[in-house]
Structure 1
């Protein structure tokens, strides 16, 4: 990591470095691999009683406008769990989630008062590889479902990686999230154990894009239209019929070294990311949502946006490298001798992580100026089944009753 004196000397020229030769087709995104479509990124300011419908073609919590608080809980199946056991678990989760999201207590809820404020609660369920093995459904497992290939920048920890089942819980209020996580976890302890829990938050003034804990506007661009979601996020069932209406989730836990980030000046931070701190505009633009001009040079012929900057390295090279993303900050208790333990929970939803997420992540791992201050320490991939369209169905029914 750079010392204080050296860090102050960061310049656009230094950031060019080897990245100038490796940059190729560069572009714009948020922390972690990102997409390039302009989207509404402000968090919705809604009453605590507002309900997000549970039933529908797709699971809620994916294309839903991002709530302020989230928890991601991964579970491991206990030894000997059968296909029927997994179906039973999914039926419990479906029933409880449907009730909690409309402001009603779960059937065995011991704190029913906490369910009265749904606060735009959503519950989203995902499957890891072991679900297909335990259920004898390996032939139905998508080819992309498994750990991502290793990257040179990764320092992955088992405590934040992989998992057999996932529950993603989001809401506007942390109490609502905590209650839902406890209810959904407590009712299935005979079948699964908690592998990890990751909690995050995001907030901004109405109509504004949230910032990450580095102070950067994060989430400027995203997929927004139904046509984009249909083409790039939702499966059409042509390859994996049971997954029609579902998608995939890549969850990356990215640690930030804020102690050394604090040592570089604002100009160096802007060159590192490629956007202005004040308003999130690209260094070549006047507005946050202006398209970056990666060909622009200054009076000395130096690119205004360094080819090694984060937005340059994260740019998609074709339409098939875009995906839907959400970012949640985390700020955990630091260990002895440390000031902070902070970072970003980066989520990417897409039809095929191998075709969409991996090429972008590979470019970031190869040479991204931001890698000096960020380290992926957790990684997991899940298949998210379609939604439950009518009461009486259950999550994953298209897989288990195909």
Structure 2
């Protein structure tokens, strides 16, 4: 992306590029207070069976692996049967691995313990519904997800029939679970892409505060409160009964220009974000959880610039909130570059069209921050409801 000239005056008065990250303000389910309580009480073993899949509202683990797969070419009826087989196999294996038990065909059973809060979460891309002859069962907001003007998408990080999200506080457990889950479906699906991510370990941050990205900024401040999850996160089955208890995931791969960001002093960084880097507080407040005052000004100049990230990422109405669960990545530099770092941004919501899309469109129009970050990957997945002990993930869809 070509960078425009940047000045303090230009930022204060207006103008901007675009962005794909998220911040905002307000109390959240992942605020320092609530996350601290979660971190202290979270068990070493996360439940697998239940109304909802684990790994979504679960207190975020230190490591994550996102794996996209494509079903092997097959006639429609066969594709549906293959999809059912994949989800059955994953359910059986994940139910054991997450509880510290080796999978039935595990060739390294010693690696199944301890669990380190391992979770396995599965999703279906819109293309899977089409291949299986179930296009009418896919929520419209998932199948019609747009491309934004600031996206610079690389097909290596886009799409996918299936998603595995594997998280734990120990990368060894994540890697082992991935190998088990992948090798058991080799005859049915092939890997499309994989993305790894990390966050501050709970042991290093017992307060459970908001994570920081590699630019040093707090990331994921604003999330729905626990009381809002039914209306903003979990599908209620109103238009697709099979999805009751499930949710929709937007997964974005965002690269960061760390070298360019280094050229800004602290005050300019704060103006770009609309937050103080040291404690995450909006420039109009004292604490990270303070509501930003976009009308506050000093000498007629807005305290929070109109093009600041917080001003545009902040929800305009309660229906624009969604659950942010981001992870950092730091991969080997690409040829001709000095770094290849950024964010694997996971956003969960009930309706992508009314929650994620309006926020992202505002960011794509005016956000100053996108001079230093670019979305290079984008995918959408439908996350089925949780499984019962006598069922499997996706049973409500596939029977």
TM over 0.5: yes
Match of 1:392 in 2: 390
Q: Secondary structure at the match of 1:249?
A: strand
C-alpha contact 2:333 2:339 (8 A) present in aligned 1: yes
CA distance in 2, matches of 1:288, 1:397: 41
Counterpart in the other structure of 1:121: 118
1:10-159 → structure 2 map (5 Å cutoff): 10-11=7-8, 13-19=9-15, 31-32=21-22, 36-41=26-31, 42=35, 50-80=44-74, 81-146=78-143, 148-159=145-156
In 2: Cα distance, 1:328 partner to 1:231 partner: 25
Per-residue deviation at 1:279?
Answer: 0.8
The aligned counterpart of 1:174 is 171
CA distance in 1, matches of 2:225, 2:89: 32
Residues 29-61 of structure 1, C-alpha deviations (whole Å, 9 max, x = no match): 993376744233457657998110000000001
Hey, what's the Cα distance between the residues in 2 that align with 1:357 and 1:237?
20
Q: Give the total of aligned pairs.
A: 387
1:16 shift after superposition:
3.2
SS in 1 for 2:89: helix
> Which ranges in structure 2 are unaligned for 5 or more consecutive residues?
none
Q: 1:205/1:154 Cα in 2 relative to 1: closer, same or farther (>3 Å)?
A: same
Q: What is the Cα deviation at residue 126 of structure 1?
A: 0.5
Give 1:310 deviation, angstroms.
0.2
Indicate conservation of the 8 Å contact 2:98/2:119, yes or no: yes
What's the offset of the Cα at 1:17? 4.1
Name the CA distance, whole Å, in 1 between partners of 2:43 and 2:172: 13
* Cα contact 1:46–1:119 (8 A) shared by 2: no
Q: Provide the rounded CA distance (Å) in 2 between the counterparts of 1:37 and 1:277.
A: 18
**Residues 68-105 of structure 1: CA deviation (Å, up to 9, x unaligned):** 11010000111015211211111100000000000001
Q: Deviations over 1:5-25 (max 9, x none)?
A: x76xx32x32134449x99xx
Shift, 1:249, TM fit: 0.2
What corresponds to 1:351 in structure 2?
350
Contact 2:220-2:325 within 8 A present in 1 as well: yes
Between stretches 107-116 and 38-47, larger displacement belongs to: 38-47
- In structure 2, the partner of 1:26 is none
The answer on whether the counterparts of 1:49 and 1:118 sit within 8 Å (CA) in structure 2 is: no
Partner Cα distance (2:315, 2:113) in 1: 43
8 Å CA contact retained: 1:19, 1:367? yes
- Distance in 2 (alpha carbons) for counterparts of 1:215 and 1:290: 19
Aligned residue number for residue 361 of structure 1: 360
Alignment partner of 1:144: what SS? Answer: helix
- Cα distance in 1 for residues equivalent to 2:58 and 2:112: 20
How far apart, CA to CA, are the structure 2 residues paired with 1:17 and 1:35? 22
Higher mean alpha-carbon deviation, 175-184 vs 33-42, is at: 33-42
Q: Under a length normalisation based on structure 2, what TM-score does the superposition of the two structures give?
A: 0.92
Residue aligning to 2:304: 305
Bigger CA drift: 361-370 or 128-137? 128-137
The 2-side partners of 1:37 and 1:79 are apart by 47
Q: Which residue of 2 aligns with 1:340?
A: 339
How far apart are the structure 2 equivalents of 1:35 and 1:346? 18
Q: Distance in 1 between matches of 2:42 and 2:311?
A: 39
Aligned to 1:315: 314
Equivalent position SS for 1:126: strand
- Cα distance in 1 between the residues matched to 2:355 and 2:25: 10
The 1-side partners of 2:260 and 2:162 are apart by 36
